[in-house]
Amino acid sequence: MEFVFHISNCAAKNQVKFATCTLHSVALTWWNTHVQTVGHEAAYGMSWKTLMKMMTDKYCPQNEIRKLEIEIWELKEADKIEKYVGGLPDMIHGSVVASKLKNMQEAIEIATELMDKKVHTFAERETASKRKFE
CA distance 40 to 51: 14
List of long-range contacts for 114-119, beta carbons under 8 Å, 24+ apart: 115/89, 118/91, 118/92
Comparing 11-15, 18-22, 72-76, 99-103, the range with the smallest average pLDDT is 72-76
Give yes or no for a contact between 16 and 47, defined as CB atoms under 8 angstroms apart: yes
C-alpha distances (whole Å) from 28 to each of 13, 37, 56, 109 are: 20, 14, 15, 53
What per-residue confidence (pLDDT) applies to 3? Answer: 86
Q: What is the pTM of this model?
A: 0.51
The confidence score (pLDDT) of residue 131 equals 66
* pLDDT at residue 34, as a whole number: 97
Indicate the domain borders of the chain.
Answer: 2-60, 64-133
- Please state, in angstroms and rounded to a whole number, the distance separating the CA atoms of residues 14 and 33: 20
Higher pLDDT, 128 or 77: 77
pLDDT tier at 85 (50, 70, 90 boundaries)? very high
Q: Measure the CA–CA gap between 13 and 44, rounded to whole angstroms.
A: 8
pLDDT class for 119, splitting at 50, 70, 90? confident
